[in-house]
Amino acid sequence: MANDLLLDILGASFTITADEDEAYLKRVLAQYRAAIKNTQKISGITDPLNVAILTGFLLCDEFNKIKDQLKNEIEAQSANAALAAQENENQWEEQEVEERTVRLIQKLEQALHFFGDEKDI
C-alpha cells in the first residue's frame, strides 16, 4: 500500500511515495529533521545544500558504525556457537569412548567368567 509524504526540508518541498506505513515515514522524517538540526548546530553551516550533504554523510557514517558493530556481535556469537558445538562434540566423543570402554570391560568380564576364575588362568 503506497503512502504519500510531503517533505518540506531546508527550503525544498516535494512529495514522495513509498510502500511504508505512514507512521513509519513520519518517524523517519522526524529523525531526518533532527539530524539536520544537529548538523547545523555542530557545524555552523547554514547553506541548505551543504547541510543536507553533511547530514547525509554523518548518517551514513553512523549507519556503517552500527552495521560494523552488529557484524562484530554476530561474528562473536557465531564463534561462541561454534565453540559450544565443538565442546558438545567433544563431550559426545568422551561419552562414546566411556560407553565403549564399559562394554569392553563387560565383555572381558564375561570372557573371564566363561573361562573360569582368574586364579585358574
- What pLDDT is attached to residue 24? 92
Residues 75 and 48 sit within 8 Å (Cβ to Cβ): no
3-state secondary structure at position 11: coil
32 contact partners, CB below 8 Å, separation of at least 6: 9, 55, 59
Whole-model pTM: value is 0.61
**Over the range 36-55, which residues count as b (16 or more CB within 10 Å of their CB) and which as e?**
beebbeeeebeeeeebbebb
Residues 58 and 39 sit within 8 Å (Cβ to Cβ): yes
Chain segment 12-48, per-residue pLDDT in tens = 999 999 999 999 999 999 999 999 999 999 999 999 9
* pLDDT surpassing 80 at residue 121: no
Chain segment 45-104, per-residue pLDDT in tens = 999 999 999 999 999 999 999 999 989 888 888 888 888 888 877 788 888 888 888 888
Residues 54 and 42 sit within 8 Å (Cβ to Cβ): no
Q: Minimal CA–CA distance to 51: which of 63, 31, 30, 36?
A: 36
